[in-house]
Amino acid sequence: MKCYTESFPGNRTFAEFFAGIGLMRLGLEQAGWECHFANDICPDKFAMYKDNFPESDDHFRLGDIHNLKPQDVPTVALATASFPCNDLSLAGMRKGLAGSQSSAFWGFCEILRGLGSRKPPIVLLENVGGFLTSRGGADIREALLALNGLGYVVDAFIIDAERFVPQSRVRLFIIGHQFNDGVLDPQRFYESPVRPRLLADFIFSHPEIEWSIRDLPDLPKRQITLRDILEDVDPNSKIWWSEERTNYLVSQMSERHSAVLKVLMGKRAWSYGTVFRRIRNGRSMAELRADGIAGCLRTPRGGSGRQILIKAGYNKVQARLLTPRECARLMGANEYKISCPLNQALFGFGDAVCVPVVKWIADNYLNPLADRLSLPFAQLA
């Protein structure tokens, strides 16, 4: 791969780390940004990425971020990092940024440090909401102070993708930038729809962090429901589960969830919901959601990661897994090309970012910052 040493090339260029299947890229491109570099460690995700971005051989580096060299990375205005969340969740036993996967964040920091005067003036981090409480808040504090040490003032906010698509997907976003024109007002409490009380408390109680908190507009109101993203699957298709398998799923529901299903079955119209299997008190339970919003897509590790669609009405019930196309639509990637096996697609989408959320962040936060990049890059560092 070419080594880059050119001067700052423009104010809407970016490098994406932990690129996954390219949904961060899709959202940024829809807001006018141009990808100059991408990196991910997973060959299966790269296969999906390449399928949708055929020119990616020119800018995609497959491999561990710790093995990247600064000279491999071009000079860009923005660097994004959707670093692994495994160690920041309960499933990862809350090992935090010292865990084997989420520690990749430090590899990202080393790349930024190694770029020296070519450091992107803007960075965007994305992770699960649990990052805020991982190790009692110690992990996010360390991460933000690390960005401060690299010359970035920071901001943080939380967005649930259900404001854009019929999927509940809460994610924490952090923006760092080199325009040190905002400070933390010790007299102001920063609670808002995108900074709920827990995050506002964290901001207010950590004045040692160099903050630059910016007001953001109201989030949009979602216009579609789960029904709107479903494929028209023939009732006799083999992807619907057998009656025996469906009945077993229903038998795993609690009395409360079973009662909701019975109401849906009793209607003279089709209703749709989603089900996750979870372990409750040592027992596998099927938890039904029937409010027109799917649960958060996950990677299909074991049975609990697979989201199940329920179709109920006319005293009948059917069940099947969500299709890859339905998962793409839940991520706001309606036209994404899918030619890989089912599990590979489910893994890719379950580990991705929601496209319209990224576009909203770019339109309302990143683009105004980028518009200020009128000086040569060396003068910005």
CATH 3.40.50.150, domain 13-222+352-380, yes or no = yes
Contact 61, 71 (CB under 8 A): no
Side chain identity at residue 48, one-letter code: M
Query: What are 371's two structure tokens?
Result: 């518009």
Residue-wise pLDDT tens digits, 289-317: 999 999 999 887 654 568 999 999 999 99
- Higher-confidence position of 62 and 103: 62
| Residue 181 pLDDT level (bands cut at 50, 70, 90) | low
Q: What CA dihedral angle connects 183, 186, 188 and 193, to 10 degrees?
A: 70
199: Cβ contacts below 8 Å, ≥ 6 apart: 132, 156, 157, 158, 172, 190
pLDDT score, position 301 = 63
Amino acid at 320: R
What is the rounded average pLDDT for all residues in the chain? 89
Quick one: DSSP state of residue 287? E
Q: What percent of the chain has pLDDT over 90?
A: 78
Question: Among the listed ranges 99-103, 302-306, 332-336, which one has the minimum average pLDDT value?
Answer: 99-103
pLDDT band at 378 (very low <50, low <70, confident <90, very high): very low
Q: What is the pLDDT averaged over residues 109-131?
A: 95
pLDDT at site 101: 46
Average pLDDT on 50-69 reads: 94
Strands (E), 167-259: 170-177
Q: Which two tokens stand for residue 321?
A: 């897994």
pLDDT above 80: residue 243: yes
SS3 159: strand
Q: What is the pLDDT of residue 115?
A: 97
- Which pLDDT tens digit goes with each residue over 246-265? 999 999 999 999 999 999 99
Between CA 50 and CA 48 the distance in angstroms is 5
* Ranges 143-147, 230-234, 340-344, 357-361: which has the least confidence: 340-344
Using only C-alpha atoms, the chain has a radius of gyration, in whole angstroms, of: 22
Query: Can you tell me the mean pLDDT for 35-54?
Result: 97
- The amino acid that residue 151 corresponds to is G
**Is the sign of the CA dihedral 321, 325, 326, 327 positive or negative?**
positive
The residue-averaged pLDDT of 349-364 equals 97
Which strand (E) or helix (H) includes residue 200? helix 197-204
Q: What is the DSSP code string of 36-94? A: EEEEES-HHHHHHHHHH-GGGGGTEEES-GGG--GGGSPP-SEEEE----GGGSTTTTT
- For β-strands 170-177 and 153-160, DSSP reports them as antiparallel
Whether 18 and 82 have beta carbons less than 8 Å apart is answered as yes
Which segments of the chain belong to CATH 3.40.50.150? 13-222+352-380
For residue 256, which phi and psi values (nearest 5 degrees)? -65, -45
Mean pLDDT of all residues in 186-196: 85
The answer to whether 79 touches 112, Cβ cutoff 8 Å, is yes
Q: Which residues pair with 122 in a beta bridge?
A: 78, 177
Q: How far is CA 186 from CA 65, 67, 202, 209, 241, in A?
A: 38, 41, 13, 12, 57
Of 8-17, 72-81, 198-207, 219-228, least confident by mean pLDDT is: 8-17
Question: What band does 99 get if pLDDT is binned at 50, 70 and 90?
Answer: very low
